[in-house]
Amino acid sequence: MRKKIVAGNWKMNKTYSEAVPLLYEVKDLLWKSKKGESVIKIIIPPSLYIHDFYETTKGLKNIFIGAQNCSYEESGAFTGEISASMIKSVGGSYVLIGHSERRSYFKETNEELKRKTDITLAHGLHPIFCVGESKDKRESGEHFKVVESQINESLFHLQPGNFKKVVIAYEPVWAIGTGLTATSTQAQEMHHHIRSLIEDKYGRILAEETSILYGGSCNEKNAAELFACPDVDGGLIGGASLKAKEFVEIIQAIPQ
């Protein structure tokens, strides 16, 4: 049975003095209600905070800390980069790879993301691999082709044992930070397409075990409808993860 997951990507937000109280507020709200306890909850703060967040949440059920990016190099003269081994050493468990902002602003290619996936897995971390199409590609009917290419070129070289450690996040680029959201029908259609690609490559069992998250202006108001889709296994949450009450409500919207 595949895991239900809600991951909060804090992006480049919150000073340390702002971030710590937010984390504690999320913890307190989750502890008080207990609803959503079986959901895998991943907090992905700025990398400076990973170790402290790990220490704060250590031992709590189904709460993990992730990184927003990592280098595809092991170590060396790469000023400003953070390696997978560093992330692992401070308590990180997951790494976002291929977020649309990294693809767009930093021009990350499918080949580079393939290398990041490999090094992340080599250090015992779980990639949350992001795929998605632009507004132009959606309107021209090329959205399935775009996502298929991203998965083919960055993930389908993996052996089944490694692929099963990957979480996929579908984030339509046109719905990130725009207030627009894919309809539940659009989300289900793409998630089903992704699962079908995995089944064609690795077989039905592995396809059914792969968690596929929706990311793209998911909030406490639309989460329940999106999460009710049979192939949507949770969410990669941006802005709403910076508001404790909203984030917890999204977690609690996962069907139990």
Percent of the chain with pLDDT over 90: 91
Which H/E stretch holds residue 253? none
Question: Catalytic site residues?
Answer: 99, 171
Write out the DSSP string of 153-213: HHTTTS-HHHHTT-EEEE--GGGSSSS----HHHHHHHHHHHHHHHHHHH-HHHHHH--EE
Number of domains in the chain: 1
Give 6-49 pLDDT, tens digit per residue.
Answer: 999 999 999 999 999 999 999 999 998 888 899 999 999 999 99
Give me the amino acid identity at 133.
E
> What's the predicted TM-score (pTM) here?
0.97
**67: which 2 tokens?**
């990184």
Confidence of residue 176 (pLDDT cuts 50, 70, 90): confident
- Determine the structural domain holding residue 48 and report its residue range: 5-252
- CATH number, domain containing residue 171: 3.20.20.70
Confidence of residue 178 (pLDDT cuts 50, 70, 90): confident
Q: State the Cα–Cα distance between residues 56 and 45, nearest whole angstrom.
A: 13
Q: State the Cα–Cα distance between residues 149 and 9, nearest whole angstrom.
A: 24
